[in-house]
Amino acid sequence: MFTQNPDKKLLLGLAISALCLFLLFRKIDFHKMAEAFAGLEYRYLVPALLLTFASYYLRAVRWKFLLAPIKKTSLGNLFPSTLIGYMANNLLPARLGELVRAYSLGSKEGIGTSAVFASLVLDRLCDGFTILLVLLVTFFTIELPAGMEGIQHGLVTGGYVTFALYLGVLAFLFLLRRHTEFTLGVVARLVRPFAPHLGEKIEGVLRSFISGIRFPGDAGGIAGILVTSLLVWFTAIWPVDLMLRAFGVFLPATASMFIMVFLVFAVMVPASPGFIGTHHLACVTALSAFQIGSERALSIAIVIHAMGFIPVTLAGLGCLWRDKLSIRNISENPSQEQLREQ
């Protein structure tokens, strides 16, 4: 088990989380922080909670569209498996939640874990493209307070760079799908002079990736994926605005989008399970651009993290209990099934 033999990545993540927490709390006035929590308006928590679960439900709906070329699946299985997967990401290291999510649904629907996992690769790509769109809108429309003009210009520059990156990724995936051999040949020629063995590995990974991907071919399926992707992030960003209002902070909607972009980048950094520390530091850093005091910013960060961590973890554990599974089962079985499928 991973808990008995933590690997280097887990230890690195724990160290980074500890460093982030140290940086966050080293100069905090806890009396001011207590005052910030005392002024919290709890009436905003219920709609934020409902929107949080709506976001996960919409993820399940999008997953149904992505799995349509493989099998017609039930939302009654997709939604609990989604909750179980995100619960596992919160409690287990190395983002095992993706494998857990694939195993959970595969065992219910009779689909191989590798096939389900391929749909989750598409799921992550949809998230990536949608958050890039959010990034573009944010960078070009956000207005920071006076004195932050340098950051404002930097964000606009970042918007152009992100737009170019977005187009580049789309073009690469299009060529990889339509002209696979040609694209793989170009990649191999570019990488081989610097790292011959790495070039072969990259070519193998890309070939396996593109052969396992089955994207819906009908207009209704594609439209469903696009619409649910936008709604997933709309219902994920809105609770951030509600949490700001709960602490008496009223900012334009683009501010919540700006914070969400920081949070998305934070989960890419190695950290402890649940992204403790990195999530909070990213939120506080984003809020500092709007001249929010450290104590209030950290209070907001704690509540935003708790709103995303506690409800889905409890719901996922409930689904796990209902399915008569255990954390030990779900952390071991995915890797075992993958070995059987190879």
pLDDT tens for residues 279-298? 999 999 999 989 999 999 99
What pLDDT shows up at residue 4?
A: 44
Q: Give helix 278-288 / helix 8-25 axis angle, nearest 10°.
A: 40
* Whether the predicted pLDDT of 98 surpasses 80: yes
pLDDT band at residue 209 under the 50/70/90 scheme? low
Average pLDDT over residues 70-95: 91
* Closest to 266 measured CA to CA, from 304, 238, 227: 304
Average pLDDT over residues 89-93: 87
Supply the DSSP symbol for 144: P
**Does residue 119 contact residue 64 with C-beta atoms inside 8 Å?**
no
Q: How far apart are CA 237 and CA 231, in angstroms?
A: 10
Apex 47 CA angle, 46 and 52, nearest 5: 100
* Whether the predicted pLDDT of 338 surpasses 50: no
CB atoms within 10 A of CB 94: 17
What pLDDT shows up at residue 339?
A: 39
What pLDDT shows up at residue 208?
A: 67
Residue tagged 């719901």 (tokens): 315
Please compute, for residue 89, the number of CA atoms within 13 A of its CA located in the half-sphere on the CB side: 19
What pLDDT shows up at residue 211?
A: 65
- State pTM to two decimals: 0.85
* Closest to 103 measured CA to CA, from 320, 270, 268: 320
* Closest to 321 measured CA to CA, from 112, 87, 57: 87
**Can you say whether the dihedral through the CA atoms of 175, 180, 181, 185 is positive or negative?**
positive
CB atoms within 10 A of CB 237: 22
292: left (phi over 0), alpha (psi -120 to 50) or beta: beta
What pLDDT shows up at residue 334?
A: 53
Could you tell me the CA-to-CA distances from 242 to 47, 48, 194, 257 in Å, in that order? Answer: 8, 6, 50, 12
| The one-letter amino acid at 42 | Y
234 versus 92: the higher-pLDDT residue is 234
Q: How far apart are CA 299 and CA 3, in angstroms?
A: 31
* Whether the predicted pLDDT of 2 surpasses 50: no
pLDDT tens for residues 211-268? 666 777 788 899 999 999 999 999 999 999 999 999 999 999 999 999 998 998 888 8
Q: How far apart are CA 278 and CA 216, in angstroms?
A: 36
Task: Of 84-93, 144-153, 164-173, give the lowest mean pLDDT range.
Answer: 144-153
What pLDDT shows up at residue 135?
A: 84
What percent of the chain clears pLDDT 70, i.e. is strictly above it?
91
Cα 249 to chain centroid, rounded: 25
Q: How far apart are CA 342 and CA 333, in angstroms?
A: 14
* Whether the predicted pLDDT of 45 surpasses 70: yes
